[in-house]
């Protein structure tokens, strides 16, 4: 089946939805298709807790301060021009969210209640309790449902981008400039591959935390956009920089890991080791509010020193009512595990949380492939450098999705005709694939990445990871060539590719920076 539109949006988190809304409003006579795997709302966006960093009141905060905080967290590898652009656009993007019905908490005097997180020198995090992402996702989906020129295809899994390679085959060399014409998409309910043809494609598939054993990212975060972009020969950068959130709830068996927001430390919580001692003073003068890479590594060191599987967060000294008011979801979660935050310590450990690298885009969200835009966690924009400043990513997605729409509007809708796009050819001969072939390998990718390519790496560990991933790649390729396509098989293919890229980029880095730390460069 061939389905034609003007804009194809892949992914329904904050990046994809905000792009779709703006495109629909800017081009009312054009057709927009959003496809997303699984249900519409499942995304990293939905689970965001802390909020959105924004300088709003220039009498209390300054752009310069947010810019400096971002640059410091990024460990010297941010693009300063991009940082300035994003920070200065934040106020407009936040006003837009307010117009779209997103509600942010206010104090009794009517002023916004701004939170604080690691690396920020001011309180500047706009939040909705501790479920900011849920509030945003719900509000954006409501707007999308009202726009007549948007059609939603949930339970649709993008397999591969369509470029000249699919149209002209071997006549195209690897070096030729490429254009995107849409994507091949698996209808997850009917098991049918559909051909979505579009003039512009927005890749907004989010993160890839699922390459690790312990992650805060939901099951959909399997690096699909990274895999698709890599196969289409788009440029990728900074893949070695992985952010581990210092404080995921330590609750063995729970997956994904439940996050205890950094805003809890911003609210005054302490970190303690299993001897009940505060330890951050040994590592950084900013203590519990040092940038995430530093706090995560400090916790990792303490866990190794004490042979423990976690450390603790201590909120016992904080005002209970104020805490519950700001963090009702976290309080409830602790209660459900018989942790009374008034007298008990909360066990926490680092978990894979965010990927700083990804598909390289310019300030307009343009990738290296013509008519392919990308936004959100799947991208490498230059904002985060080697380590993302907390609560800068929802903002980044809003800014780059906005800029992409403006770019298309400014340059005028591309009038060129699309080439004849071939339908998907089903080569599968085996419809009896055993699920164990997938589940085992998915677990193996996670084990390899957690043990060899985690918070602390080394050349030897990276080499071992590479060799083992190569075996998994070969096995997966054989399956892909003859087995019936399923979401699980396709996700595994992208997990292996993403893991491979993280390892290969890590092997090329010869200096410790932000989210990359190797014993060989101490």
Residues 292, 457, 461, 509: which is the catalytic one?
A: 292
Q: Is 261 in the site for ligand SIN (CB under 6 A)?
A: yes
- What are the C-alpha distances in Å from 368 to residues 87, 142, 359, 477, 506? 25, 33, 9, 26, 22
What is the rounded distance in angstroms from the CA atom of residue 32 to the CA atom of residue 10? 11
Whether 292 is catalytic: yes
What is the rounded distance in angstroms from the CA atom of residue 34 to the CA atom of residue 21? 10
Residue with tokens 């991009």: 82
Among 6, 20, 21, 44, which residue interacts with ligand FAD (rule: CB under 6 A)? 44
Q: What tokens were used for 421?
A: 């796009």
Q: Is 50 in the site for ligand SIN (CB under 6 A)?
A: yes
Q: Is 367 in the site for ligand FAD (CB under 6 A)?
A: no
Around 276, how many Cα atoms within 13 Å sit in the side-chain half-sphere?
3
Q: Is 249 in the site for ligand FAD (CB under 6 A)?
A: no
Tell me how far, at minimum, the Cβ of 381 lies from ligand FAD, in Å. 11
H or E segment and range at residue 339 = none
Q: What tokens were used for 428?
A: 């599968």
Question: In this complex, which beta carbon is closest to ligand SIN, that of residue 289 or of residue 466?
Answer: 289
Tell me how far, at minimum, the Cβ of 44 lies from ligand SIN, in Å. 9
Among 71, 83, 87, 158, which residue interacts with ligand FAD (rule: CB under 6 A)? 158
Residue with tokens 């057709």: 31
What is the rounded distance in angstroms from the CA atom of residue 223 to the CA atom of residue 180? 19
Instruction: Give backbone dihedrals phi and psi of 207, rounded to 5 degrees, phi first.
Output: -95, -165
Among 112, 134, 157, 323, which residue interacts with ligand FAD (rule: CB under 6 A)? 157
Query: Does residue 377 have a cis peptide bond before it, meaning omega lies within 30 degrees of 0?
Result: no
Tell me how far, at minimum, the Cβ of 391 lies from ligand SIN, in Å. 4
Tell me how far, at minimum, the Cβ of 478 lies from ligand FAD, in Å. 21
Residue nearest to ligand SIN (CB): 50
Stretch that binds ligand SIN, among 255-263, 361-369, 406-414, 475-483 (CB under 6 A): 255-263
Tell me how far, at minimum, the Cβ of 388 lies from ligand SIN, in Å. 7
Tell me how far, at minimum, the Cβ of 269 lies from ligand SIN, in Å. 11
Among 391, 401, 476, 512, which residue interacts with ligand SIN (rule: CB under 6 A)? 391
Helix axis angle, 436-452 relative to 459-482, nearest 10°? 160
Q: Is 263 in the site for ligand SIN (CB under 6 A)?
A: yes
Q: Are 301 and 246 in contact (CB under 8 A)?
A: no
Q: What is the 3-state secondary structure (H, E, C) of 178-224?
A: CEEEEEEEEECCCCEEEEEEEEEEEECCCCCHHHCCCECCCCCCCCH
Question: In this complex, which beta carbon is closest to ligand SIN, that of residue 50 or of residue 514?
Answer: 50
Q: Are 164 and 178 in contact (CB under 8 A)?
A: yes
Q: Are 473 and 500 in contact (CB under 8 A)?
A: yes
Question: Binding marks (x or -) toward ligand FAD, 409..448, rule CB under 6 A?
Answer: ----------------------------------------
Among 23, 195, 216, 512, which residue interacts with ligand FAD (rule: CB under 6 A)? 216
Residue with tokens 């581990």: 244
Residue with tokens 């519950």: 324
Q: Is 49 in the site for ligand SIN (CB under 6 A)?
A: yes
Q: Is 390 in the site for ligand SIN (CB under 6 A)?
A: yes
**Binding interface with ligand SIN (CB under 6 A):** 49-50, 259, 261-263, 390-391, 393
Q: Which residues are catalytic?
A: 292
**Binding interface with ligand FAD (CB under 6 A):** 10-16, 35-38, 42-45, 47-52, 132-133, 157-158, 204-207, 216-217, 220-221, 224, 259, 354, 376-378, 391-394, 397
């Amino acid at each position: 089946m061939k389905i034609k539109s003007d804009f194809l949006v892949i992914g329904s988190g904050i990046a994809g939805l905000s792009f779709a809304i703006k495109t629909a409003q800017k081009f009312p006579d054009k057709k927009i298709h959003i496809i997303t795997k699984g249900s519409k709302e499942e995304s990293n966006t939905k689970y965001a807790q802390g909020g959105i960093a924004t300088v709003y009141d220039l009498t209390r905060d300054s752009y310069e301060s947010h810019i400096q905080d971002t640059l410091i967290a990024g460990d010297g590898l941010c693009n300063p021009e991009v940082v300035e652009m994003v920070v200065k656009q934040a106020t407009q993007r936040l006003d837009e969210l307010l117009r779209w019905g997103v509600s942010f908490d206010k104090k009794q005097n009517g002023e916004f209640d701004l939170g604080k997180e690691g690396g920020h020198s001011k309180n500047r995090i706009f939040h909705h309790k501790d479920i900011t992402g849920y509030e945003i996702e719900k509000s954006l989906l409501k707007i999308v449902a009202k726009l007549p020129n948007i059609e939603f295809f949930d339970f649709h899994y993008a397999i591969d981008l369509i470029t000249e390679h699919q149209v002209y085959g071997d006549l195209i060399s690897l070096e030729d400039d490429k254009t995107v014409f849409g994507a091949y998409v698996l209808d997850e309910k009917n098991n049918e591959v559909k051909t979505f043809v579009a003039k512009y494609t927005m890749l907004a598939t989010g993160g890839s935390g699922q390459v690790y054993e312990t992650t805060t990212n939901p099951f959909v975060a399997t690096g699909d956009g990274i895999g698709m972009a890599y196969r289409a020969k788009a440029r990728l950068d900074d893949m070695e920089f992985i952010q581990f959130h210092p404080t995921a709830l330590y609750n063995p068996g729970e997956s994904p890991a439940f996050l205890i927001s950094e805003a809890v430390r911003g609210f005054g919580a302490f970190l303690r080791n299993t001897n009940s001692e505060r330890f951050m003073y040994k590592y950084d003068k900013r203590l519990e509010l040092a940038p995430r890479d530093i706090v995560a590594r400090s916790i990792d060191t303490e866990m190794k020193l004490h042979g423990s599987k976690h450390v603790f967060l201590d909120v016992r000294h904080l005002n209970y009512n104020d805490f519950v008011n700001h963090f009702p979801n976290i309080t409830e979660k602790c209660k459900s595990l018989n942790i009374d935050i008034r007298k008990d310590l909360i066990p926490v450990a680092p978990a894979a949380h965010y990927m700083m690298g990804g598909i390289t885009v310019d300030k307009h969200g343009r990738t290296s492939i013509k008519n392919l835009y990308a936004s959100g966690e799947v991208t490498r924009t230059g904002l985060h450098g080697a380590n993302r400043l907390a609560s800068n990513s929802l903002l980044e997605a809003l800014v780059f999705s906005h800029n992409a729409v403006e770019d298309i509007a400014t340059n005028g809708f591309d009038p060129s005709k699309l080439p004849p796009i071939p339908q998907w050819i089903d080569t599968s001969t085996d419809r009896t694939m055993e699920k164990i072939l997938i589940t085992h390998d998915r677990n193996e990718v996670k084990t390899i990445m957690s043990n060899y390519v985690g918070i602390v790496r080394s050349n030897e560990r990276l080499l071992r990871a590479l060799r083992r991933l190569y075996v998994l790649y070969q096995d997966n390729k054989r399956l892909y060539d003859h087995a019936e396509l399923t979401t699980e098989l396709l996700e595994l293919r992208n997990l292996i590719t993403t893991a491979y890229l993280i390892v290969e980029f890590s092997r090329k880095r010869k200096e410790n920076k932000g989210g990359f730390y190797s014993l060989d460069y101490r």
